[in-house]
């Protein structure tokens, strides 16, 4: 796809800029909205490599991992995200799902207790 190749060329040229992580994240969002999930995840991963502490990047990358059934990756990313955003009920619910699917019932129970206290 010519558009993706062109986008990659531009993003690689600006990857050294201080806010390049935002550009990669925004490219991932754009590709996600266009239904190109494979390339979307690639850009979220690149954004994460540049800035693993950014909440938007953590959430987007976690969501893509979750949607691709990569439960271990998704759970680690949601944990990091929730460390910074303790009030995101949807992220807690996704993390709960990950733990349950992975068979980590002890952690799932802990998350369920957190969610129950907030209701």
Residues 33 and 76 in one domain: no
Q: Specify if 64 maps to a domain.
A: no
Q: pTM of the entire structure?
A: 0.84
Q: Specify if 58 maps to a domain.
A: no
Residues 75 and 47 in one domain: no
C-alpha span between 10 and 79 (Å, rounded): 32
115 C-beta neighbours (distance < 10 Å), count: 14
Structural domain including 104 reads 71-119
Q: Specify if 91 maps to a domain.
A: yes
Interior/surface letters 95-106, b for 16+ CB within 10 angstroms, e for the rest = bbbbbbeeebee
According to the model, what pLDDT value does residue 98 have?
98
Query: Please, what are the averages of pLDDT over each run of 10 residues along the chain (119 residues)?
Result: 73 70 90 90 92 96 95 98 95 97 96 89
C-alpha span between 54 and 37 (Å, rounded): 20
Whether 81 and 91 have beta carbons less than 8 Å apart is answered as yes
Residues 9 and 42 in one domain: yes
Q: How many domains does the chain have?
A: 2
Residues 39 and 77 in one domain: no
């Amino acid at each position: 796809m010519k558009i993706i190749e062109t986008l990659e060329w531009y993003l690689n040229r600006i990857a050294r800029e201080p806010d390049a992580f935002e550009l990669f994240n925004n490219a991932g969002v754009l590709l996600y909205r266009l239904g190109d999930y494979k390339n979307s995840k690639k850009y979220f991963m690149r954004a994460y490599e540049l800035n693993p502490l950014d909440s938007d990047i953590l959430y987007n990358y976690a969501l893509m991992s979750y949607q691709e059934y990569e439960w271990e990756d998704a759970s680690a990313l949601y944990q990091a995200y929730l460390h910074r955003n303790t009030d995101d009920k949807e992220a807690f619910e996704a993390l709960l799902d990950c733990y349950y699917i992975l068979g980590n019932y002890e952690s799932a129970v802990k998350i369920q207790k957190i969610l129950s206290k907030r209701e």
